[in-house]
Amino acid sequence: MDMQSIQTFLSTTVSELAIKVLAAIAFWIVGRWLIGRVIAMMQAAMNRNHVDPTLTKYLGSIIAIALNIALVLGILGYFGIQTTSFAAMLAGAGVAIGAAWSGLLGNFAAGAFMLILRPFKVGDFVSIGGVVGTIRELGLFGTTIITPDNVFTIVGNGKIFGDTIQNFSVLPERRVERVAQLAASVDPLDAIARLKIAVAQIPNISKTMPPEVNLLDIKLEGPQIAVRPYTHTDNYWQVYFDTNEAIVRVCKEAGWPSPSALHRFKQEA
C-alpha cells in the first residue's frame, strides 16, 4: 500500500470519525434540551391538575434519569456499539454497584414506598428521622427539611421509612402542651380558675375545642397545672409562647411565691 493510499484512508477515516463525534455532541445537546422540555411540560401539566408537588418532583426525577439513559444508549448505537451487550454489562455493573451501595438503594426503595403511601407532602410540618421541620422536597434518596431554626437538612429515605413519622399538618388543629409548676402554698383550684380565664383570652385559640386546664400532679414543690389550649397548626408557636406569658402573668398578678425558692427554703430549714 503506497503513501497516497494510506493518506487517503486516514483522511477518510478521520473525517468520518470527526463527523460522528460532532453528530454525537449535537445529539447530546439537542437530546438534553428535549429532555428538559419534556420534564418541564410534564411538571407544568401536573401542576395545572393540582397534583401533589412531591409526586411531581419525584416522577420528574425518575423520568429524567430514564430518558438520559436512553439518550446515552442511542448515541452509543449511532457509533455502532452493540447496545445489547452494553445493557448486559450495565446490568452486571448494576448488581455489583447495588451490593456496594445497598444503603442508597434502600433509600431509593423507601422513597418509592413513601411516594405510594404519602405520609407527608411538601409544606407539611413533620418529625421524621429525629428531625423536626417543614418538608421542602422529597428526593430519590433523601428528603429535604427546613428546621425551625432555618437549617437545610437532608434525611435518608431509609431512615425515615424505618422510624416513627409524625405529621403535625394533617389535622387542622393541634394542642399546646404546657405545665405550670406552683408552690405548695398555692390553692390549685384557685389557680385553675385564674388560668382558665387568662388562657381563654389568648388570640387564635380554637373556638370549637376549649382549652384544658387541669390538676396534673402534686409534687414536693407543689401542685402542677396542665395548661393545654388548642389552635390551628399555623398559629401553634404563637399560642405556645402566649400561653407561657399567660402563666407567668397570672402567677405575678396573684403574688404566688416561686416553687423553687420555697423548696430551697424548706431544705435549708
* CATH number 3.30.70.100 is the correct assignment for the domain at 173-268: yes
pLDDT at 196 over 60: yes
pLDDT recorded at residue 262: 46
- What is the pTM assigned to this prediction? 0.60
pLDDT at 224 over 50: yes
Q: Which CATH number fits domain 3-100: 3.30.70.100, 3.40.50.2300, 1.10.287.1260, 1.20.1440.130?
A: 1.10.287.1260
Summarised one tens digit per residue, pLDDT across range 142-155 is 899 999 999 999 99
Tell me what the mean pLDDT of segment 86-111 comes to: 62
pLDDT recorded at residue 216: 95
**Average pLDDT value over all residues in the chain:** 81
Indicate the residue type of 216: L
Summarised one tens digit per residue, pLDDT across range 9-61 is 556 666 776 777 787 788 888 888 888 888 888 878 877 777 666 667 767 77
Domain range summary for the chain, segments of one domain joined by +: 3-100, 120-167, 173-268
Tell me what the mean pLDDT of segment 210-238 comes to: 93
CATH topology classification for 120-167:
SH3 type barrels. (2.30.30)
Confidence of residue 268 (pLDDT cuts 50, 70, 90): very low
Summarised one tens digit per residue, pLDDT across range 148-174 is 999 999 998 888 888 899 999 999 999
